[in-house]
Structure 1
Amino acid sequence: MPKLLLGVQKKMIKELSVQIDTIGTEMEAIISSDREMARKFELLLSIKCIGNQAALHLMVFTEGFTKFKNSRQFASYCGVAPFPNQSGTSLKGRPRISQLANKKMKSLLDMCAKSSIRHNLEIREYYQRRVAMGKNKMSTINIIRNKLLSRVFAVIHRGTPYVNLYGHIT
């Protein structure tokens, strides 16, 4: 019985993988057919640790960067913008992140942030510096998510690829 189930699951995985590849190819064709979308997609890919999947999702959820005016609005939509946690004037808690968020985009930004901690020297040093100061690791990762969103919106609004100025500092 387990061999039968394993065989069925392998076939399902294979079929789903084919369908995912087909959808990915169609999405790339749609982006390449529109010059403006292709330009924005290339701008997004110029940011270190923003890959194809994150760029595609950013394009979709921002509706080609027309739905949100700035990175702060989109951060709120994704659930990476902290909000004050208080009740009245006397009960104040730590700022919290809203649970009413786009979890898919939040998880993609989380993966981008963790990738940038590994592969981007500037972000890695920032992360290590904050953790050494005793700051919460998840709070620091959330700040990095916001940094990435700020870079994304800056690149799109400027219309020029991301330039890593940190690499030019001696």
Structure 2
Amino acid sequence: MQRIKSDSIDALRIAEYAYRFQDRIRLWKPARPVIKKLTEFTRLRQRLQGMISQLKVPLSEQKRFGDKGLTAQLGQHCSGSLKALDNDLKDVEKAIKQLIADDPILKSLFELVTSVPGVGQVVATELILVSAEFTAIDDPKKLACHAGVAPFEHSSGSSIRGKTRVNHHARKSLKTLLHLAAMSALQVKGELQEYYRRKVAAGKNKMLVINALRNKLIHRVCAVVGRGKNMTKTIRPRLFNP
């Protein structure tokens, strides 16, 4: 047990740790300025969307269960705020699109990622930011693990034989967006829709199948980025088949 704490002792422990694991060192590389701008604009878009939701959702609930006259009056009081927030959100989305269009690397990546059915600009943005333009994380299994959609074994000795399950230590915002992307992909005729229907018809749990779809989307995105070619019907990405 270590009972003493001081700056000199902390520095010594950090130096010892770095020396012991110097063979596993990974040098930090700062993000490009355009990525920093994209990150800030994306976070601003999320905050604006949250504020719009905070105003609209209570009004919608009041309209369904409350007094209609009061609902109309409340709506009038915040109509100006909602209009201003909507305009700000449109301006931010326009700025994000301009950032992407002006940078050749980002433009190419977005064309590749959004060629995957179900993956739109918002999901593509989050994937690119999380993976540092697919330089820090280019392995689909690692990206799936980071997003919290990779199933892990849950067992211990002979007494615990649980089902495989995802880990809660994940980037929840990316997991939510992937869920929306999977639900969007289900609306498009193709392999993912057929896969979902086949598995559900076989008695599989719907949420487990949707999680598998989220995994498949990540594998498809990494496949098109790795090959540098947009996804088409003639390009069949290498996917696992749970």
Pick one of 205, 219, 239 that aligns with 1:150.
219
| TM-score (norm. length: structure 2) | 0.64
2:178 corresponds to 1:109: yes
Report how many residues are paired. Answer: 167
Structure 1 distance, partners of 2:73, 2:201, is 52
Gaps of 5+ in 2: 1-69, 237-242
Per-residue CA deviations over 1:92-151 (Å, capped at 9, x if unaligned) read 211111122222211111111111112132211111111111111111111111111101
Gaps of 5+ in 1: none
In the other structure, the counterpart of 1:131 is 200
Deviating more after overlay: 89-98 vs 130-139: 89-98
Structure 2 distance, partners of 1:64, 1:166, is 22
If you compute each CA radius of gyration, which structure gives the higher value, 1 or 2?
Answer: 2
Q: Which of structures 1 and 2 has the larger relative contact order (alpha carbons within 8 angstroms, sep 6+)?
A: 1
Structure 2 distance, partners of 1:136, 1:3, is 42
The DSSP-based 3-state class of the residue aligned with 2:187 is helix
| TM-score (norm. length: structure 1) | 0.88
Pick one of 118, 137, 142 that aligns with 1:49.
118
Q: Aligned residues: percent identity? A: 34
Structure 1 distance, partners of 2:73, 2:156, is 56
The offset of 1:166, in angstroms, is: 8.7
C-alpha change, 1:88 and 1:17, in structure 2 (3 Å) is farther
In the other structure, the counterpart of 1:15 is 84
Structure 2 distance, partners of 1:165, 1:124, is 18
Per-residue CA deviations over 1:48-103 (Å, capped at 9, x if unaligned) read 22112111222222221122131111111111111112244431211111122222
Structure 1 distance, partners of 2:192, 2:235, is 10
